[in-house]
């Protein structure tokens, strides 16, 4: 049975285009679902981006006023792919309209805003999903299965990180991600949120942590709105502006289940491209995964035969969750946008089922609570407990 869902996308930069393409993949990669996303309207405050996205992706309409997307009678799902500082206003309007939300991370500009957003959605009773797309790699889902089935024994250590060099060039543009007034905190909200979400999914809640941060590049060339992207580069002599949030964050963590861990994130480290990775250790085995080799999982599960005592490499394939929806057989890799297609499919399926699934705003609030403890640790220089912000801030 055909199940049509009207889609509105707000913010037509790289991520807005990625979300839109992901919806277009669902009918061909998940035909058994019957889901037919209908790209109704796209919105961007730069008219050229809005009209170009409409033409490229066959949206029925485009607009420079995001409210028209929220109020459109044919739209049931709104995608938020805008800078963080707009998210509260957007969620408030979407929740009031009773529409479902697929929001890119970080959801809130800071922890307080994340609490507010989670509350607005919960009060309105709407469904939501957050773009922690690395969760959906088939071998990450298999790793989670091994953890949940106890194959690693008692869990002992978790090492999570997201190291990237996208900001390592000192002439990389001063886009909104480097501006505290727009993005909020820097790499802790951007890349660390993925590492923290992965750790929470695999290990459960964090009890306490100690953390420090550092801003390596203090000034960057000013961008030209609508002309240069997040990955754009200026040159010597360009007008410069101040970077007002952090480039690097490291933390030691103790999870509630007793697991010891580390979490790290950097946007200026030279060498890593997209080193979004984890290492998990237990009393009976270990796992290691890195997005730079996302179709491989390192597994250490020694048996009684001592000659087989060592890590083996599993290659992703159709036996692992959703891989076969894209390519058959084993060793035929899938890529980043395929993970976004899986994510979009999961959300639309939850909308049809009327069932809130993970990761929603509740999961991103757990990430924000860990980040909030990190920020306090930067100031105190000591271990900080991870506390419920919902209980502290809401009536």
Residues 198 and 318 in one domain: yes
The verdict on residue 319 lying in a domain is yes
Of 53, 11, 12, 14, residue with least CA distance to 231: 14
Query: Both tokens of residue 243?
Result: 């970077």
Cite the beta strand spans of the chain per DSSP E. Answer: 3-10, 35-43, 61-63, 77-80, 100-103, 128-130, 155-163, 206-214, 219-221, 240-242, 248-255, 260-266, 275-282, 286-290, 296-300, 312-315, 384-385
Domain boundary among 133, 153, 174: 133
Range of the domain at 149: 134-333
Residues 18 and 66 in one domain: yes
What is the pLDDT tens value at each position of the chain, 395 positions in all?
Answer: 679 999 999 999 999 999 999 999 999 999 999 999 999 999 999 999 999 999 999 999 999 999 999 999 999 999 999 998 999 999 999 999 999 999 999 899 899 999 999 999 999 999 999 999 999 999 999 999 999 999 999 999 999 999 999 999 999 999 889 999 888 899 999 999 999 999 999 999 999 999 999 999 999 999 876 555 566 888 888 999 999 999 999 999 999 999 999 999 999 999 999 999 999 999 999 999 999 999 999 999 987 667 778 999 999 999 999 999 999 999 999 999 999 999 999 999 999 999 999 999 999 999 999 999 999 999 999 999 999 998 766 55
Residues 166 and 312 in one domain: yes
Domain boundary among 312, 333, 354: 333
Domain boundary among 283, 317, 333: 333
Paired strand residues for 385: 208
The model's pTM is 0.94
pLDDT at 303: 79
Residues 127 and 194 in one domain: no
CATH of the domain at 169: 3.30.360.10
Question: Are 39 and 27 in contact, with CB atoms under 8 Å apart?
Answer: no
Place of tokens 């964050």: 249
For 379, residues 6+ apart whose C-beta sits below 8 A from its C-beta are: none
Residues 110 and 138 in one domain: no
Residues 90 and 207 in one domain: no
Residues 241 and 150 in one domain: yes
The verdict on residue 14 lying in a domain is yes
The verdict on residue 369 lying in a domain is no
State the first-to-last Cα distance of the chain, in angstroms, to the nearest integer: 44
Please count the structural domains in the chain. Answer: 2
CATH of the domain at 100: 3.40.50.720
The verdict on residue 357 lying in a domain is no
């Amino acid at each position: 049975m055909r199940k049509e869902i009207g889609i509105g996308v707000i913010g037509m930069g790289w991520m807005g285009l990625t979300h839109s393409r992901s919806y277009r993949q669902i009918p061909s990669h998940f035909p058994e679902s019957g889901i037919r996303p209908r790209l109704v309207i796209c919105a961007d405050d730069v008219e050229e981006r809005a009209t170009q996205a409409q033409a490229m992706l066959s949206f029925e309409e485009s607009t420079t006023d995001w409210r028209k997307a929220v109020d459109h009678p044919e739209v049931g799902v709104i995608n938020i792919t805008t800078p963080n500082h707009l998210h509260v206003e957007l969620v408030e309007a979407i929740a009031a309209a009773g529409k479902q939300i697929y929001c890119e991370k970080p959801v809130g500009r800071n922890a307080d805003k994340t609490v507010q957003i989670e509350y607005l959605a919960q009060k309105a009773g709407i469904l939501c999903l957050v773009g922690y797309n690395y969760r959906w790699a088939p071998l990450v889902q298999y790793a989670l299965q091994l953890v949940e089935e106890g194959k690693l024994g008692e869990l002992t250590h978790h090492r999570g990180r997201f190291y990237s060099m996208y900001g390592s060039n000192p002439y990389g543009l001063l886009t909104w991600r480097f501006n505290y007034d727009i993005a909020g905190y820097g790499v802790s909200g951007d890349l660390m949120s993925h590492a923290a979400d992965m750790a929470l999914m695999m290990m459960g809640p964090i009890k306490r942590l100690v953390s420090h941060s550092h801003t390596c590049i203090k000034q960057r060339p000013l961008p030209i709105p609508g002309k240069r992207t997040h990955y754009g580069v200026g040159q010597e002599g360009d007008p410069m502006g101040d970077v007002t949030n952090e480039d690097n964050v490291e933390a030691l963590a103790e999870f509630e289940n007793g697991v010891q861990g580390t979490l790290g994130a950097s946007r200026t480290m030279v060498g890593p491209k997209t080193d979004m990775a984890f290492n998990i250790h237990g009393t009976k085995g270990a796992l290691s995964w890195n997005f730079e080799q996302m179709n491989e999982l390192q597994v250490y599960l020694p048996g009684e035969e001592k000659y087989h005592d060592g890590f083996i490499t599993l290659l992703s394939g159709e036996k692992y969750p959703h891989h076969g929806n894209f390519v058959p057989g084993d060793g035929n890799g899938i890529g980043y946008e395929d993970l976004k297609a899986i994510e979009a499919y999961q959300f639309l399926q939850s909308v049809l089922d009327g069932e809130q699934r993970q990761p929603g705003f509740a999961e991103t609030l757990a990430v924000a609570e860990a980040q909030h403890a990190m920020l306090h640790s930067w100031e105190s220089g000591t271990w900080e407990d991870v506390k419920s912000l919902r209980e502290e801030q809401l009536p």
